[in-house]
Amino acid sequence: MDVSEQIKKFEKFIEQNYHADLLEAISSGLNYIVIDFARLSRFDPSLADLVLDHPDEVLKAFEIGIKNLEVPDNIRRFLVRLTNLPASQVILIRNIRSVTINKLICMDGIVRQKSDVRPQVTSARFECPSCGNIMSVIQIESKFKEPTRCGCGRKGKFRLVSKELVDAQKIVLEEITEQLDGGDQPKRIDIILKNDLVSPLSDKKTNPGTKIRIIGSVKEVPIPAKDGGKLVRFDLMVDANQVIPLEESFGDVIWTKEEEKQIISLSHDPKITEKLVNSMAPSIYGHDKVKEAIILQLLGGIKKTRNDGVVTRGDMHILLVGDPGAGKSQILKRAQLIAPKSRYVSGKGASGAGLTASVVRDEFLRGWALEAGALVLANKGFCMIDELDKMTKEDRDAMHEALEQQTVSISKANIQATLRCETTVLSAANPKWGRFDPYEILGKQIDLPPALISRFDLIFPIRDLPNKEQDERLASFILNLHQTSNSGKCDIDTNMLKKYIAYARRNCFPKLTDGALEEIKNYYVGMRNSGGNDGGVKAIPITARQLEGLVRLSEAAAKTRLGEKVLRKDAKKAVELLHFCMSQVGVDPDTGKIDIDVLTTGVSSSARSNIIIIKEAINELENKIGKTIPVEDLIKEVENKNITADKAEEVIEKLKRAGDIFEPKRGFIQKI
C-alpha cells in the first residue's frame, strides 16, 4: 500500500469515526487525538498491520491525512496517539530483541528515574552561501547533523537558517515485580517522551514511582566508542507514542454520572458506616473496630493551613500490634487494594533510605539525583508497613519526620531538598516477645520507641486468646471460605468502595459544629482530670496530640455519609474509637486508670511517683544516717508511705541501672 493510499484511507477513517473528537480536540487547543486501535483494525485490517510493523512511516502518513482535514494552519503537527493495542504486541522489557526493533509494542512498568525536560532538534534548515540554496536536514540521531555538500558543488560551512525544536524527556522504566519469576531481577529500559507527553499535565503521570503503560516503537541507539567511531553493539530505547497511568491517586479516580448518583444515594443510607466496614475486608473474620478505623483512615481528616503558615496534617496513622496469625498482614493487603495509590513494604527488607529518599548518580544529566523512597512515592496515598518491629532502630528513626511533619528532608552530596510526603501510614508489628503475655500489661509489651508510638493516632492490640465459641465461629468462617471461595457477603463491591472513598476525599470538607466541639472538649477535659491525686505525680491520661487525633477521626466519620458538618454523633464515634484503643493499651497496671505515659514513655505516672518518693526517702536517711544507707532501713521507711517491699526493691534496681545510686557493699546503697 503506497503512502497516498494510506493518507486517503486514514482521512476516511477519521471522518467516519473520530470527526467529532477531532473538532473537540482542536477547539480545546490540543494538538493530538487518541485513536482506539481496535476500531482501526475493524475499519481496515491491512492498515492496522502496517501500523504495527512500520509505525514511524504510517503514523507520519496519518498526520498528513489529518492535516488535509479541517486542521487550522497554526498547528504545525497534529499527532496521533494509539491505545488498546492487541495482546500480541504486549511484551516484557526483558523479552525485547533485535526482531522487535522499529515495531510498535506495549509494556507496563514503574518509573524509576526521570530527567528534566529539555528541547531537542527535530529538523534544521541550512543555506548555501554560494548559490543560496536552502537544504532541510532531519535530525534522527543523537548527534547534530549538518549537510555534507550542496547541488552547486560546495562542501561544508553552511549557514544554519532555522531549526525546529520539541520538548523531550528521558524516563527509566522498570519491570513490575508481579510479572517476574522468583529470582529475576527487574530489567530497565530508557523511554523518550516528546511533545504533549511532557506537557505539565502529562508530567504528573510519569512521576517516579508511578505505574504506567507505554506504547511506542523500539529504536536502536549507537554507542560511541572512545576513538570517536561506533561500536558494533547498540543500545535500546523506546520512542513513546502514548503514556497511560495504571495506578492513580484519589484525584485521578474517574466516575460516571450514574456512579455519582449511586454514591450520593449510598451516602443517605442510615447504615452506610456498617456497610463500609463490612465491605472493608469481608474475607477476614471479626476485628470490626479495626476495620472501622481503617475506613476512617482511608477517608482521612482535613489538612489545615493556618494564617501563620502552620500546617496541621489530615492523615491518620494506625498501628496494629498483635499476635502472629491474627490476620494483621491480611488486613494491610486488603487496605492496599482499596487505596488507589499505595505502597507495601516489610520490616526486614526496608531501609531508612528505601522508606524516605536516597541520592544516586544520574547517568543522563551527569550528576547526583534524588531517588524517592516508599513514603514519598505514596504521597497523597497510603503506605503499608508490615513487621515494623523487625526494622533496625536507625531505619525507624527516619520515619519520625515523615509521620508528623509530612516532609522528608535530605542533605547529601550537593543536594539539599525537602520532599513532600503527605502519606497515610498503616503499620503492623508483633509484641516484644512475639506474642502477648496475658498477665503482663499490653503497653509494656509494645517494643517500639516512645517518640514513634506517640505519632500514631490509634494503636490496636489484636489478641488471639482461646475461646470456644469464638474459635468455632472463626473456624467455620475460614473453612467455608475455602470450600466455596466466596468471600462473605459484601455490601459494596471493591470498585465502588474505591470510588466512594475517592469521591468523599475530593468533594467533602466537613466543618466542626459546636456540638461536636463540646463533645470532644468534654471528653478531653474529663479524661485529663479523671486521674485524681493520690499525693504522687498526677497521671496524664491523654495529651493534645490525641485531641488533634479526635478532630481528624470526627472529620473522617462525617465523611462516611458525605456530611458537610461534623456532628455530635461523629465526635462520639471518634471518642469511642480512641477510648477503645486507650483502655486496652494505655492502662497503668497499679492504678487501673488510663495513663498515656505507659505507652509513650514506658513509665507510668504511679511508677514515676514511686521513684520520687524513694529518692526523697534516700535524701532524708542520708541526713540522718550518713552517706551509706542500709537497704532494709530504706524499705521500712517507704513502707510507711504505702509502697510494698517488692515495689521498693524494683525501683531501687531501676535507680541502680540508671546510675543514680550504686551499691558500695552488699545490702547498702549510696548516692552517686
The three cell numbers of residue 444 are 509494656
| pLDDT confidence of residue 190 | 87
Q: DSSP readout, 401-461? A: HHHHT-EEEEEETTEEEEEE---EEEEEE--TTSS--TTS-HHHH--S-HHHHTT-SEEEE
H helices within 436-567, ranges in order? Answer: 442-445, 450-453, 468-484, 494-507, 514-528, 544-559
| pLDDT confidence of residue 441 | 66
Helix H or strand E encompassing 216? strand 211-224
Comparing C-alpha atoms, which of 494, 594, 513 is closest to residue 555? Answer: 513
| pLDDT confidence of residue 147 | 80
**Model pLDDT for residues 477-494, shown as the tens digit of each residue:** 778 777 776 655 677 777
What count of other Cβ atoms lies within 10 Å of the Cβ of residue 530? Answer: 12
Going by pLDDT thresholds of 50, 70 and 90, the confidence category of residue 144 is confident
List Cα–Cα distances, 330 to 159, 282, 284, 344, 475, in angstroms. 68, 11, 8, 12, 16
Single-letter residue type at 629? I
The pLDDT of residue 402 is above 60: yes
What count of other Cβ atoms lies within 10 Å of the Cβ of residue 336? Answer: 16
Comparing C-alpha atoms, which of 330, 291, 285, 283 is closest to residue 472? Answer: 285
The pLDDT of residue 20 is above 70: yes
> What architecture does CATH give domain 605-671?
Orthogonal Bundle (1.10)
Distance (Å, whole) CA 140 – CA 370: 30
Least confident of 140-154, 225-239, 355-369: 355-369
Collect all residues with Cβ–Cβ distance below 8 Å to 559 and sequence separation of at least 6: 299, 300, 504, 505, 508, 510
Three-state secondary-structure class, residue 277: helix
**pLDDT greater at residue 368 or residue 302:** 302
Judge: domain 257-507, CATH 3.40.50.300: yes
Going by pLDDT thresholds of 50, 70 and 90, the confidence category of residue 247 is low
| pLDDT confidence of residue 62 | 82
Comparing C-alpha atoms, which of 327, 319, 228, 238 is closest to residue 287? Answer: 327
Going by pLDDT thresholds of 50, 70 and 90, the confidence category of residue 587 is low
Strands 230-245 and 159-174: unpaired
| pLDDT confidence of residue 661 | 80
Least confident of 121-125, 139-143, 184-188, 393-397: 139-143
- % of residues, the chain, pLDDT over 70: 87
Task: Please provide the average confidence, as pLDDT, over all residues in the chain.
Answer: 78
**Model pLDDT for residues 591-633, shown as the tens digit of each residue:** 656 666 655 555 666 666 777 777 878 887 777 777 787 877 7
Q: Are 669 and 626 in contact (CB under 8 A)?
A: no
Phi-psi region of 490 (alpha: psi -120 to 50; beta: other; left: phi over 0): beta
Collect all residues with Cβ–Cβ distance below 8 Å to 171 and sequence separation of at least 6: 111, 112, 113, 114, 115, 190, 191, 193, 206
| Mean of pLDDT values over 636-658 | 77
**pLDDT greater at residue 414 or residue 124:** 124
Least confident of 149-163, 345-359, 414-428: 345-359
- % of residues, the chain, pLDDT over 90: 0
The terminus-to-terminus CA distance of the chain in angstroms comes to 97
Q: What CATH number is given for 104-247 in this structure?
A: 2.40.50.140
**Model pLDDT for residues 553-583, shown as the tens digit of each residue:** 888 888 888 888 888 888 888 888 888 887 7
Collect all residues with Cβ–Cβ distance below 8 Å to 88 and sequence separation of at least 6: none
**pLDDT greater at residue 142 or residue 300:** 300
Distance (Å, whole) CA 287 – CA 244: 38
Q: Which CATH number fits domain 3-84: 3.30.565.10, 3.30.420.40, 1.10.260.30, 3.30.1640.10?
A: 3.30.1640.10
| pLDDT confidence of residue 305 | 82
What count of other Cβ atoms lies within 10 Å of the Cβ of residue 641? Answer: 14
Going by pLDDT thresholds of 50, 70 and 90, the confidence category of residue 536 is very low
Three-state secondary-structure class, residue 332: helix
| Mean of pLDDT values over 401-421 | 77
Going by pLDDT thresholds of 50, 70 and 90, the confidence category of residue 123 is confident
Comparing C-alpha atoms, which of 126, 162, 121 is closest to residue 139? Answer: 121
H helices within 560-661, ranges in order? Answer: 568-585, 596-600, 605-624, 631-639, 645-658
The pLDDT of residue 115 is above 60: yes
Ordered by start, the domain boundaries in the chain are: 3-84, 104-247, 257-507, 605-671
Any bridge partners for residue 219, and if so which? 237
| Mean of pLDDT values over 440-446 | 68
Going by pLDDT thresholds of 50, 70 and 90, the confidence category of residue 535 is very low
Per-residue three-class SS string for 236-274: EEEEEEEEEECCCCHHHCCCCHHHHHHHHHHHCCCCHHH
The pLDDT of residue 291 is above 80: yes
